[in-house]
Amino acid sequence: MAYRYACADFTFPLLPHGDVLKLIGMMGFDGVDVGLFEERSHLRPSGEFCAPASSGAELKKKAGDAGIVVADAFLQSAFDFSVRAANHPSKAIREEERIRFRKLMEYASAAGSGHITCLPGVAFEGEAYETSYGRALEELAWRVEQAREAGLVFAVEAHLGSIADTPDRAGQLVADVPGLTLTLDYTHFTRIGIADEEIAPLIKYASHFHARGAAEGRLQTVVSENAINYDAVVAEMVKTGYHGFVGVEYTWQEWEGCNKTDNVSESILLMRQLKDAERKAQGMEE
């Protein structure tokens, strides 16, 4: 079975959202990864979640008109991800985030997406890591169950600064929360010099995948300077039976120097490379 490829809508922040969807379709992608990032994306929770079912349905229609589907809906409730983290020490904030998660599920279902992504939480200063981690387990287990009942796949993105900031911690988190999956992004680990071989065991836990160029010290690079062996990554995906979307996730922002790439060209080049890797891997399996 051939993989389906998605492109993030936040790859092109300078365009109106409707034009972003059209561009992604014109580039040959099958789907769009939708960012619901408060303070920094086209579509924001504070707006979309006022009427999540109708907003999701509108997104589904616009994506369909562009010839693509909604592959994933990714929620971040605040620019500073610690402020409204799922495992925040404040019970009031945790309850508010549970309400927002329910709206995310309603939104994603109406948009036609079977997959949702959130962040896993953070280790808060002033308390033991184990305390922050324990709250994360409780909150993520609740989300897994809610998503299961809604017929959705729920994943977290292990990332720098999170409770799961290394491959080992990400693997432990998934092991400790039955049913939890990963939206796996090598680049957060590549950026700090972690080798592909240390990240690869996480592929078996992935339900969604983010790909872009990266190298040690650089979260985002052009394809020609990328240090991740995507041939080996895709071969492992095929071997382990990965069947989710493969999302190309270039961003355009000053943070980490991610405004130095031609995102149209690099996204197309990387998708071509990934498809070539897939063909080689499928051939290896035959």
Q: Write down the pLDDT at residue 284.
A: 59
**Ranges 13-22, 168-177, 275-284: which has the least confidence:** 275-284
Q: CA separation (Å) from 254 to 126, 154, 259, 263?
A: 30, 29, 5, 14
The size of the chain, in residues, is: 286
CA angle 244, 225, 118 (to 5 degrees): 35
Start-to-end CA span in the chain (Å): 12
Q: CA separation (Å) from 23 to 183, 216, 236?
A: 24, 31, 30
CA–CA separation, 44 and 57 (whole Å): 15
pLDDT band per the 50, 70, 90 thresholds, residue 261? confident
Which phi and psi angles does 275 have, rounded to 5°? -65, -40
Q: Write down the pLDDT at residue 251.
A: 87
pTM of the model: 0.95
pLDDT band per the 50, 70, 90 thresholds, residue 255? low
Q: Write down the pLDDT at residue 147.
A: 98
